[in-house]
Amino acid sequence: MTTVTSPLAGRAIGLAAVPDPVFSGAMVGPGTAIDPVREPMDAVSPVDGVIVSLHPHAFVVVDGEGHGVLTHLGIDTVQLNGEGFELLVNKGDTVTRGQSVVRWNPAAVEEAGKSPVCPVVALEATADSLSALREDGDLKPGDQLFTWQ
């Protein structure tokens, strides 16, 4: 079983509240979403594992059980072409839960006209493989978001 923790501070809102049909419809996979606090911060790894995909606006960490967890920093933020995002690790790096991966500023994303809401998705999972799913309440980095069987 994998415990997935929050990569950032904010408020859990659930995937259904994400302003993007691909995420809100769980087409990428099940999970939850976070409306981040509006201040510069580091997004941290939600699990121990290896960075298998790394972009300024999104990263995937695969844990020892083969579970891939996507953290997507904002919606349509790929259109910002990396502006306002700083990569702190490299693809292929082994990271620990809570280790900083990307430095960014949700307020700047919002000022650029994009939603700063961050989906955290269990890739290639089924909804019934997740439990203890957080869809409301305040979060700080490292708080449990869900467990994955």
In whole angstroms, give the CA distance from residue 71 to residue 94: 16
pTM equals 0.97
Per-chain mean pLDDT for the chain: 97
pLDDT, mean of residues 58-64: 97
pLDDT digits (tens, 9 = 90+) for 24-53: 999 999 999 999 999 999 999 999 999 999
Active site members: 72
Give CA angle at 121 (115, 122), nearest 5°. Answer: 175
The DSSP secondary-structure symbol of 115 reads: B
